[in-house]
Amino acid sequence: MWQETALIAGEEVRTGDQVEIEDPSTGEVFATTPDCGPAEIDRAVAAARQASVAWRRTAVADRAAVLRRLATLIIRDRERLGSLESRQTGKPLAQGLRDADLTARYFDFYASAVETFYGSTVPLNDGNFVFTQWEPHGVTAHVIPWNYPMQILGRSIAPALAVGNGTVLKPAEEAPMTALALARLALEAGLPAGLFNVVTGMGETAGAALTAHPGTDHISFTGSVEVGRIIGAAAAQRIVPVTMELGGKSPNIVFADADLDRAVPVIVNSIIQMGGQTCSAGSRLLVQRAVHDEVVARVAKLFTEITIGPALEDPQLGPLISGPQRARVMSYVERGTGDGTIVTGGQALQGGRYGNGFFVQPTLIDGVDPRSPLGQEEVFGPVLVVSGFDDLDDAVEVANGTDYGLVAGVWTRDVTTAHRMLTEIDAGQVFVNTYGASGGVELPFGGVKNSGHGREKGAEGLRGFARLKTGVIAR
């Protein structure tokens, strides 16, 4: 049994209570981590505060050099980190390795971006010299989910450190292992102790204590809408800024003129990646009726060819994160048969090569009423629901007809259709004839409506973890 520790002020920290970590591919407990509480959170926030005083005064080039060294160390250890990510989350090994590469890319990107993160001068009048400058918040709190522990750590911790903050990270209790590994690599890279603290444990203990802590100056949260509301309320009580990336019910919208050879494989990948357990999963397929039958037949064929198995065997589709998550997904499938017709899939997989892992077949459900629970709610599994539309106006209405607005994909050869859809779809990212883009490190990411607010990734990520000050000097 692997017995992990939290990492606070550069020191390994243990607690009496432990949280068990399951391997989703087998259902077996392979590690434990401390269940941190208010005492550990106090210690971590104090360490981040103390370390940030000198860090914010450190030359930008020197901060950037540390982040670049960390990126190099992540690439050095990518095999270990990638396989550990796959084991704790159930994602196929190739996806775990890619996550390691992208995490390194975040630290490298923000090392460069912060070196050109300038303020500006304002030509007010001849009597005053006016300028703006970006400053760190102080201590930033980061609460991340279990589906992309390394990537989401990279996209929030890297910019927060780059602009001079001290950080405290609470990883998901289901998948904290790579966060701890990365924090130790940060120390090896030369990051001063206390700047990157990892407090493990349950959301209702460690997470709640961190987000309500009076010593934090900014909160970054990625997770469910329900928990986002709780964290948003905690931030409001203390009047601190919060960036929230929450759920999604993202559509791929296929017009009759689309290149289906190009579209269908991308559509399939957008719902099976990480087992569909991602906020940006393309979980709705909206198809113009003229090509509906052909699109459904093509997607169904690819679904039946998907390889399924344990994460480290690198199939196309691994297990879901846990037994409760599998039960949740299956409850939607079982309820959803009244809303549509299961074309393929629809079964949990157990026994034989699946053992006690948490596997579900990729499931395609056609004829789903866009207003039904299956058409509205985030399933968070490899379940793709299909609805038809008549024309562009109908497509816009259905696409925008949920409480979410994170990502959308549009498939058309018509440039006018593409421009109109880009303008009228209510989402933080809209892709045309693609879905996602090479990890999107440079692309500002975030949602509208119940998908959250604020932006991470790209240059906007730096602005999210800094505050703007205006200076005026009379001549």
Q: Is residue 73 a part of any domain in this protein?
A: yes
Whole-model pTM: value is: 0.96
What is the residue range of 146's domain? 2-246+451-474
User: What CA–CA distances, in Å, run from 357 to 83, 103, 130, 315, 381?
Assistant: 17, 27, 61, 14, 15
**CB within 8 Å of 290: residues ≥ 6 apart:** 256
Closest CA to 462 of 140, 183, 223, 207: 140
User: Count of domains in the chain?
Assistant: 2
Which one from 4, 279, 449, 457 is the annotated catalytic residue?
279
Say if residue 44 is in the same domain as residue 74: yes
Q: Is residue 277 a part of any domain in this protein?
A: yes
Question: What DSSP character marks residue 192?
Answer: P
Closest CA to 374 of 347, 402, 396, 397: 402
Is there a catalytic annotation at residue 378?
Answer: yes
Say if residue 317 is in the same domain as residue 385: yes
CB count within 10 Å of CB 146 equals: 22
Say if residue 324 is in the same domain as residue 392: yes
Say if residue 216 is in the same domain as residue 256: no
Say if residue 160 is in the same domain as residue 279: no
Say if residue 304 is in the same domain as residue 388: yes
Question: Tokens 């409506």 map to which residue?
Answer: 449
What was the pLDDT predicted at 436?
A: 85
Is there a catalytic annotation at residue 22?
Answer: no
Is there a catalytic annotation at residue 245?
Answer: yes
What was the pLDDT predicted at 337?
A: 65
What was the pLDDT predicted at 190?
A: 98
Which one from 40, 85, 245, 456 is the annotated catalytic residue?
245
Say if residue 110 is in the same domain as residue 229: yes
Say if residue 234 is in the same domain as residue 269: no
Which one from 40, 173, 378, 456 is the annotated catalytic residue?
378
Q: Is residue 322 a part of any domain in this protein?
A: yes
Say if residue 384 is in the same domain as residue 271: yes
User: What span, in angstroms and rounded, lies between the C-alpha atoms of 220 and 242?
Assistant: 6
Say if residue 208 is in the same domain as residue 350: no
- Alpha carbon of residue 241 to chain centroid: 19
Q: Is residue 188 a part of any domain in this protein?
A: yes
Say if residue 166 is in the same domain as residue 297: no
- Total residues found in the chain within this entry: 475
Say if residue 256 is in the same domain as residue 183: no
Q: Is residue 446 a part of any domain in this protein?
A: no
What was the pLDDT predicted at 335?
A: 82
Q: What is the pLDDT of residues 265-317, one digit of tens each?
A: 999 999 999 999 999 999 999 999 999 999 999 999 999 999 999 999 999 99
Closest CA to 283 of 310, 247, 308, 251: 251
CATH number at residue 20: 3.40.605.10
Asked if 432 and 410 touch (Cβ cutoff 8 Å), the reply is yes
Q: Is residue 226 a part of any domain in this protein?
A: yes
Q: What average pLDDT values come out for the chain (475 residues) when binned by 10 residues? A: 94 95 97 97 98 98 98 98 98 98 98 96 93 97 98 98 98 98 98 98 95 97 96 95 96 98 98 96 98 98 98 98 97 82 96 94 97 95 98 98 98 98 97 86 96 95 96 95
Which one from 91, 170, 249, 457 is the annotated catalytic residue?
170
Partners of residue 429 on adjacent β-strands = 407
CATH number at residue 286: 3.40.309.10
What was the pLDDT predicted at 361?
A: 98
Q: Is residue 445 a part of any domain in this protein?
A: no
Is there a catalytic annotation at residue 170?
Answer: yes
